[in-house]
Amino acid sequence: MNDTAEQSVMLHLHQTYGKTIHTWAFDDFPELPLGPPHLMMSYTGINPPSDDAIHSRDERSGISSSAKKGLREGYLPRYQKDNKADQWETSGTGIMFKPEETQIR
């Protein structure tokens, strides 16, 4: 996605703490949108990927992570992170959506 096109999306996603709901389990059902939704989270651990891994990914993707970081610092507002945003990392529990058949009126 080019730098201009990503801005409206990033402004929307910026304060979601790296969490989004995937409604299509693409890894399991690449041809059809099947399966329950999944709450997906970005990795925010204390051990970030190595510089080599980032450089390799940047080369494959044709992007510059450092340039993207600089661009985003210019338009994304700073905010105070909610301390409960990543409690799954310390609690060992998370949220799972379970499909349930229900009567429709």
pLDDT, tens digit, for every residue of 2-47? Answer: 889 999 999 988 888 878 888 877 777 788 877 778 888 776 666 7
Q: How many of the other CB atoms lie within 10 Å of CB of 20?
A: 13
- What is the C-alpha to C-alpha distance for residues 37 and 16, in angstroms, rounded to an integer? 17
Q: Which pLDDT belongs to residue 68?
A: 94
d(CA 10, CA 72): 8
Indicate if the alpha-carbon torsion angle 24, 43, 68, 8 is positive or negative: positive
Q: What is the pLDDT of residue 22?
A: 82
> What is the DSSP secondary structure assignment for residue 84, as one 8-state letter?
T
98 close to 36: Cβ distance less than 8 angstroms: yes
Nearest 5°: CA angle at 79, between 77 and 82? 150
Helix, strand, or coil (residue 20): strand
The whole model's pTM is what?
A: 0.64
Model pLDDT for residues 54-97, shown as the tens digit of each residue: 999 999 999 999 999 999 999 999 988 888 888 888 898 888 88
